[in-house]
């Protein structure tokens, strides 16, 4: 049998079969994925082969090739990493100008990693109903900035429902990852998109996790008007990601655009003569905040230099 993994609770996976049945499944004992050391070889969004048994549960015997997947390193600095989700069509990053403030560095890091994973991003500016005149002005500037770079921006209020009509068609026929710092309104937004979803989530996880540790789990939720959203409680972004210095430029779309005119092909855009990026920052063609984010990711690379390779 073949199906889609819609939920991961640690040792159990919930699989929706091609003919619509829901089957609790486990990984077959010696099942290992080539080349990747992860704490969870199977992730939400994976298409899998199942071998069912008499108890009505199943073993996952194979995973279809992934179009993409996102991982994060385990926080304990072990070499293991966790696959958060597979086969994403889109990521929506929920941000708020205030209550709480989402920093441009956080946004830019998320965007860069999404570029590396080749997952398109829509920026959702939530809590539109709370904005002061000044905050609204700032939000509009942010939206113009990211829109110019090539990221669609939508202003919404999960509380009042404003802007939700614009989001729904973007989700249609897609698997969309919802991300954002805690407090930005992810749960409220999910409840707005899928009425009652969060309530159900709590009940299901209670029933499943009795007496167990609360593990980080991801879940795919079906939007009634079409599409799935992936909710990853406790995971605010993609986490760290190892990129080569030379590659980092290409994950900042507008920096990449200008870098084609740098004198040196291996230019890091920090000090080199004839650097077209530095010139563009000076001339305000590249936003100072974006360039700062680029530098901060470049510095991470320097700091990580002596760390054990991932």
Query: Binding residues for ligand GDP, per CB under 6 A?
Result: 126-127, 129-130, 157-159, 180, 182-188
Residues 118-133 as b or e (16 or more Cβ within 10 Å = b): ebbbbbbbbbbeebee
Q: Does 286 bind Zn ion (CB under 5 A)?
A: no
Q: Are strands 175-179 and 228-231 parallel, antiparallel or unpaired?
A: parallel
Q: Does 262 bind Zn ion (CB under 5 A)?
A: yes
Q: Does 6 bind Zn ion (CB under 5 A)?
A: no
Q: Is the peptide bond before 70 cis (omega within 30 degrees of 0)?
A: no
Distance in Å, CB of 19 to ligand GDP, minimum: 33
d(CA 107, CA 101): 11
Q: Which does 126 bind (CB under 5 to 8 A by kind): ligand GDP, Zn ion, none?
A: ligand GDP
In terms of DSSP H, where are the helices of the chain?
104-117, 133-149, 164-171, 186-193, 197-208, 245-248, 253-259, 276-282, 288-303
Return the number of the residue (48 or 142) whose C-beta is nearest ligand GDP.
142
Q: Which does 130 bind (CB under 5 to 8 A by kind): ligand GDP, Zn ion, none?
A: ligand GDP
Considering only 184, 193, 275, 287, the residue that binds Zn ion (CB under 5 A) is 275
d(CA 139, CA 145): 10
Distance in Å, CB of 103 to ligand GDP, minimum: 16
Q: Does 48 bind Zn ion (CB under 5 A)?
A: no
CB 131 within 8 A of CB 143: no
Q: Which does 275 bind (CB under 5 to 8 A by kind): ligand GDP, Zn ion, none?
A: Zn ion
Distance in Å, CB of 199 to ligand GDP, minimum: 13
| Residue nearest to ligand GDP as judged by C-beta position | 185
Return the number of the residue (90 or 267) whose C-beta is nearest Zn ion.
267
55: CB partners within 8 A, 6+ apart? none
**3-class secondary structure, 186:** helix
CB 36 within 8 A of CB 70: no
Q: Which does 267 bind (CB under 5 to 8 A by kind): ligand GDP, Zn ion, none?
A: Zn ion
Return the number of the residue (135 or 159) whose C-beta is nearest ligand GDP.
159
Q: Which does 159 bind (CB under 5 to 8 A by kind): ligand GDP, Zn ion, none?
A: ligand GDP
Return the number of the residue (37 or 200) whose C-beta is nearest ligand GDP.
200
Q: Does 281 bind Zn ion (CB under 5 A)?
A: no
Q: Are strands 228-231 and 22-27 parallel, antiparallel or unpaired?
A: unpaired
Tokens of 164: 């939700």
Return the number of the residue (172 or 182) whose C-beta is nearest ligand GDP.
182
179: CB partners within 8 A, 6+ apart? 91, 92, 93, 94, 110, 186, 232, 235, 236, 237, 238
Return the number of the residue (130 or 154) whose C-beta is nearest ligand GDP.
130
Residues forming contacts to Zn ion in the complex (CB under 5 A) are 262, 267, 269, 275, 277
């Amino acid at each position: 049998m073949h199906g889609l993994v819609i939920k991961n609770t640690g040792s159990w996976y919930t699989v929706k079969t091609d003919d619509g049945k829901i089957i609790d499944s486990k990984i077959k004992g010696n099942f290992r994925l080539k080349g990747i050391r992860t704490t969870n070889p199977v992730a939400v969004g994976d298409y899998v082969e199942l071998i069912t048994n008499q108890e009505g549960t199943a073993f996952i015997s194979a995973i279809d090739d992934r179009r993409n997947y996102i991982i994060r390193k385990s926080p304990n600095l072990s070499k293991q990493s966790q696959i958060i989700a597979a086969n994403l069509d889109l990521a929506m990053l929920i941000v708020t100008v205030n209550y709480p403030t989402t920093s441009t560095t956080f946004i830019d890091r998320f965007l860069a990693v999404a570029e590396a994973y080749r997952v398109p991003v829509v920026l959702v500016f939530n809590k539109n109903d709370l904005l002061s005149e000044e905050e609204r002005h700032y939000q509009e500037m942010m939206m113009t900035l990211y829109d110019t770079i090539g990221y669609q921006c939508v202003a919404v209020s999960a509380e009042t429902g404003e802007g939700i009509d614009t989001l729904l068609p973007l989700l249609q026929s897609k698997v969309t990852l919802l991300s954002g710092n805690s407090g930005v309104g992810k749960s409220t937004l999910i409840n707005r998109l899928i009425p009652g979803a969060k309530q159900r989530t709590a009940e299901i996880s209670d029933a499943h996790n009795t007496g167990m540790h609360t593990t980080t789990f991801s879940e795919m939720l079906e939007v009634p008007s079409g599409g799935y959203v992936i909710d990853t409680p406790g995971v605010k972004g993609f986490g760290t990601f190892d990129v080569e210095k030379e590659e980092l430029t290409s994950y900042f779309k507008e920096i990449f655009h200008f870098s084609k005119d740098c004198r040196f092909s291996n230019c890091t855009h920090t000090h080199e003569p004839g650097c077209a990026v530095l010139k563009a920052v000076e001339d305000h063609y590249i936003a100072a905040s974006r360039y700062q984010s680029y530098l901060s990711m470049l510095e991470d690379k320097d700091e990580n230099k002596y760390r054990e390779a991932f």
